[in-house]
Copies of this chain bind each other. A is one copy, B any other.
Amino acid sequence: MPHSYLKPLLDNNGSKIILLVLDGLGGIALTQDGKTALEYAKTPHLDRLAEEGTLGQTIPIRYGITPGSGPAHLALFGYEPLEYVIGRGALSAAGINLSVKAGDIAARGNLSTFDKNRNILDRRAGRISQPDAAPVIALLNQVQIPGVEVEVRQVKEYRFVLVMRGDGLDSSLNDTDPQETGVQPLTVEAQNPKAKKTAELINKWIEEAYQVLSDQPVANGFLLRGFATDPGFPSYEDAYELEAVCIAEYPMYKGVSRLVGMDVIEDVGAGPAGEFTTAKDHWNEHDFFFIHIKKTDSYGEDGNLEAKAKIIEEVDQAIPILLDLNPDVILVTGDHSTPSVLKSHSWHPVPFLLWAPKTHRTDHETSFTERNCARGGLGTFPAVETMSLALAHAGRLQKFGA
């Protein structure tokens, strides 16, 4: 359970919280006169919230640790990321709303190209397109073996998810993907005795599926990785008494939200203004709104500071849509830093803005930048404390002790 001391203190007062996550928000300036994307961007609305509210910076996982998106979001949601671990298969299945219950197993798959000796020529089948991959994946979905039910569903292009349902399954299995070409895919082996039967079943299914694809011109093979089962996380409702909803454009963020029991809106408006308008359209149905902006991270990974700054400006311009809803708490932060100069996720602390006009304590800072956040009133704190701050500033936590 996220911070078990919170639960006895919960007071569902109907207040509303917005957690706005700009993926990979943090950047780095290597010199005093350098600028991060957040410093480069013109952000009058965010600066106004910063001036009125409180700044801080978060450590996503631990000092020095560069997070993947899964653990970084779990931390923001209050789930200690070293304790709550999601297998890639379960995360991918959740992303496309494919049911994986406790005891089911799920794996992430890529269509691939094999030679006639079943050596891997291309691990991604030439990145075969969505329409070209769809009928091949439909063929895989028809491969069934006795005793279990197998479902295979396309995620995007050559990527798919496989779910096997039946009794006595165990996901302690190695990947078939050797992560290199010129060799055969690996056989699945049980990583502990309980998974022996599952390994036999999955190998049998794989062999039949290889036969079915053998005539395909390009995608005549596939690779599986990240075998996992439902991680069985406590829900937001259980942990926080919040009716939470996810507004995100990308499957992975919908997936991690489903794993903590959030509702997920499938039909989301495009861009920051579109996503905020979706929140507005569903305002009365929920009391916690997780809104995820992907492109700050994507442009950070491209090393494109100007484009990252432009997305931040688009977010800034759309902020009035959120303010017009009169939320009790707005948090603006990232899941991790993605500095354009590094072109990758990084370990640097993440800017954090808390605005709660009835409860926030203002600090000395008046603009929303990395440098100002480092001196902000909330200090430097673990991202896993985000939900505690959100609940407190929303008036949803009673006094601890007499």
Contact = CB atoms under 8 A, between A and B. Distances in A.
Interface of A: 3, 5-6, 9, 26-32, 34, 36, 51-52, 57, 61-72, 81-82, 85, 88, 91, 226, 339, 342, 344-349, 357-364, 366, 370-372, 374-381, 385, 387-393, 397-402
Contacts of A397: 64-66, 347
A363 to B, nearest CB: 5
A45 to B, nearest CB: 16
Contacts of A392: 63-66, 346-347
A385 B63 contact: yes
Contacts of A72: 401
Contact of A400 (B6, B71, B363, B387): B71
14 contacts: A28-B361, A28-B362, A29-B362, A65-B397, A66-B399, A66-B400, A72-B401, A91-B402, A346-B392, A348-B361, A364-B371, A364-B372, A371-B377, A375-B375
Nearest to A67: B400
Query: Quick one: which of A69, A385, A401 has the most chain B CB within 10 A?
Result: A401
Contact of A29 (B30, B62, B361): B361
A32 B112 CA distance: 59
A401 to B, nearest CB: 4
Given A32-B362, A360-B30, A362-B32, A64 B389 contact: yes
A344 B67 CA distance: 38
A240 to B, nearest CB: 11
A322 B344 CA distance: 29
Contact of A398 (B31, B32, B66, B342): B66
A361 B349 CA distance: 9
Nearest to A34: B362
Given A345-B399, A349-B378, 18 more contacts: A6-B64, A30-B358, A36-B361, A61-B400, A63-B388, A64-B391, A64-B397, A66-B399, A68-B402, A88-B402, A91-B402, A346-B359, A347-B392, A348-B361, A363-B374, A371-B377, A374-B379, A379-B380
Contacts of A339: 361
A45 B26 CA distance: 28
Contacts of A65: 5, 9, 388, 392, 397, 400
Given A347-B392, A379-B349, A28 B360 contact: yes
Given A5-B82, A63-B389, A401-B68, A363 B371 contact: yes
Contact of A399 (B31, B34, B67, B400): B67
Contact of A377 (B345, B346, B347, B374): B374
A31 B362 contact: yes
The residue among A36, A52, A374 with the most chain B CB atoms within 10 A of its own CB is A374
A26 B361 CA distance: 10
Nearest to A51: B32
Contacts of A359: 28, 342, 346
A52 B28 CA distance: 12
A170 to B, nearest CB: 21
A29 to B, nearest CB: 5
Contacts of A381: 63, 380
A64 B57 CA distance: 16
